[in-house]
Amino acid sequence: MSSPPIDTDLIDRLNDDSSNKDDVNNNNNHNNSNNNNNNQDDAKANIMRILVATDNHLGYLEKDPIRGDDSFNSFEEILNYAVQLKVDMVLLGGDLFHDNKPSRTTMYRTMELLRKYCLGEKRVGISFLSDQSVNFTNQFHVVNYEDPNFNISLPVFSIHGNHDDPTGEGGLAALDLLSVSNLVNYFGKIDDIDDINVYPLLLSKGETKIAIYGLGNVRDERLHRTFQKQNVKLMRPNEAKEEWFNILVLHQNRIAHNPKNYVHEKMIDGFIDFVLWGHEHECLIKPQPSSIGEFHITQPGSSVATALSEGESKDKFVGLLEVHKSQFRFKPFPLQTVRPFIIDAIALSDSGIDATQQNLVNEYLDSKIEEMINQAKEKTKGKLNESMLPLIRLKVDYTGYSTLNPQRFGSKYAGRVANPADILLFHRKKPTSVPKSSDPFEKDKAPVQDKIKVDDFISEFLGNTKQDRLSILSEADLHQALYNFVEKDEIDSLTKLVDLSLTNSQRVLKTNIPLSNLNPDFISNQVQVHFPFRSGFETNSGSNGSDNNNNNNVTMHDPNEFEARSDEEDSHAHDHHGHGHSHGNYDQDSDSDVLDIPNLMTSPTHTTTTTTSTSRSTPTPTTPVSKGTRKKSSSTPATPSTPIAKTPRKRSAKTPPATKSQDIISIDSNDEDDEDVSTPTNSKKRGKAKQATPTTRKRTKKTKNSDDDDSD
């Protein structure tokens, strides 16, 4: 596909270096114009521009003759936006690929697009300051634009999602292939799920310094447990902690399907300024203040519809994040290559048609489908996707009526809609006489499409009687192995589980254990030690291992703080997501894009509260010196390499920022060096306690309203 056209007028305003050309004939005005332009150039030299997107799902329905190109078209439009907007980098929030093992066709087309848009002679204007051997797991340990063997003009940074997570022998992901080929900078890989240390990417441009924390997808229940044990630590720079703009990129559930399978905003450290939230497919691109009021969240959603749900039918956007020191501005850009999608719902009982007159029912459904097709045409009139066949989904409540064959009904719309086989979705009202269960784990709370899972059958068949229960294999291990077999295409996962379980069992049986030691505590400890996934199976399964216990003595969060929201609170979720906030400028319709730093860019507002928490005793990690030759110099002059002290720097405004030739910034997991800082207006306001401030904080309880549709 040729490069998709985008809003060139808006881009011209963004990249216009002179705004007073009409005053050239007047010398005084001309001088003033030059001064203004110089000031703007100085400001732009300190502004880092980041294009954010997530859930591209490349390869989705790649063999479908109608929808096979949809994911690639949208991804190319995103890269085209990045080039036209002259961004410094692209930041992706996971699920770049739809399949855990993408086909060769998908890999080829992805690498082709990345090579087309990301390679070139254009100089990258950002400096990489952190230890690259810690940030990147491939054997080269170097950010791609500093590799002397490649000319990278547009760096792309990405974490993995639940679709393209590391699995199999060696724990490799599809992103590792793009990383080793130097097309994508893959970060956020987790080594130990029970003790997660997240080391940030430290980047600078002029006087702006950004720390990007990447957390690749982990099973939500497992991550929730690790958060509760306060074993998720975001490591902060040793020096000048308040000078960094902190971004968190994660790919987890934002909606509580049950109390322990999502990430609550209270779990996120208070020093974070901006969160890029992947995994949820509904596009909520406008940055929203968190429920605790200390950072902003953008949820770009997917760039291709992978489910015929309400959330996927909304307009899709990507966002331009501009950061100047501690201030940010956000601007959305619509994706025009997305296939139009119209969804609606009707009840046959409202039609007044006799249930025995099936022909009249069919005519009624046909008239509704025609109305939706015309609505799709009107929606895309004059747009790039005008010629694309629309996706149509009509939910039909057939209570009191009989159903018809959806495939046969949809065949008449072949060539007019993109999904003729599943236009109709029939459902009936639930009996009103059945009282609603108060069980917080009730599955009806989760808006999932298919509620019957293989895991349910395993639990049913293995838990009915005592003799049905497994004695050597663990039920949790069997769940995970079967999941890897079906979802991750790991054909040897069951064989590995059996072999590993037998090996561990034989090793335990060969151990001479004194009879005096055979007490419940000893047996429980042996089960922990020889738990199959902890012994090695989990290591080869990537970051999404099975659940297991951790005996570490840690301070637990109050579990009541993370309970699921009530139905009454959920009813206001759409209103919460649909309204904006004044913190951080959300500039969508501005006619002028000259960067007036004090007025157009607003600091993230941090609520000043007294927080209490147990300080971590994690020792300050030592980061080795980064290796490798660096290819390109930044826009600032190089300075002699100087070790950086652990105490915060006291630097005047005229001191040049760190450049690539300087030593890497050391990282600290504790906040013991922090002091109470009072900053002027339009700067960061940190809420700190008088005591030592740990990285993870226990904040005042405040419930967040949220509502979302199905997500992948």
Give me the sign of the Cα torsion angle 252, 487, 174, 99: negative
Phi, psi of 100 (to 5 degrees): -65, -35
Q: Are 693 and 668 in contact (CB under 8 A)?
A: no
Q: Which long-range contacts (CB under 8 A, 24 or more apart) does 507-516 make?
A: none
Dist. CA 74–CA 86, nearest whole Å: 18
Give me the sign of the Cα torsion angle 353, 356, 357, 358: positive
Q: Are 71 and 56 in contact (CB under 8 A)?
A: yes
Helical H segments across 625-705, by residue range: none
Q: Which residue type sits at 393?
A: R
Provide the 3-class DSSP secondary structure of residue 321. strand
Dist. CA 584–CA 603, nearest whole Å: 6
Angle, CA of 218, 220 and 221, to the nearest 5°: 120
- CB hemisphere CA count around 211 (13 angstroms): 27
Dist. CA 410–CA 426, nearest whole Å: 13
Dist. CA 160–CA 214, nearest whole Å: 9
Closest CA to 161 of 613, 569, 551, 488: 488
Dist. CA 290–CA 257, nearest whole Å: 19
Dist. CA 408–CA 121, nearest whole Å: 55
Q: Which structure tokens are listed for 642?
A: 């100087």
Dist. CA 482–CA 537, nearest whole Å: 13
Give the position of tokens 């157009």. 600
- CB hemisphere CA count around 558 (13 angstroms): 10
Catalytic residue among 160, 163, 264, 296: 163
Q: Are 691 and 279 in contact (CB under 8 A)?
A: no
Q: Which structure tokens are listed for 228?
A: 């509760």
Closest CA to 392 of 381, 409, 383, 401: 409
Dist. CA 255–CA 705, nearest whole Å: 10
Q: Which secondary structure element, helix H or strand E, spans residue 27, and what is its range?
A: helix 27-44
Dist. CA 486–CA 89, nearest whole Å: 35
Q: Which secondary structure element, helix H or strand E, spans residue 47, and what is its range?
A: strand 47-53
| Burial group, residue 641, by CB count within 10 angstroms (0-12, 13-18, 19+) | exposed
Assess whether 163 carries a catalytic annotation: yes
By annotation, the residues acting in catalysis are 163
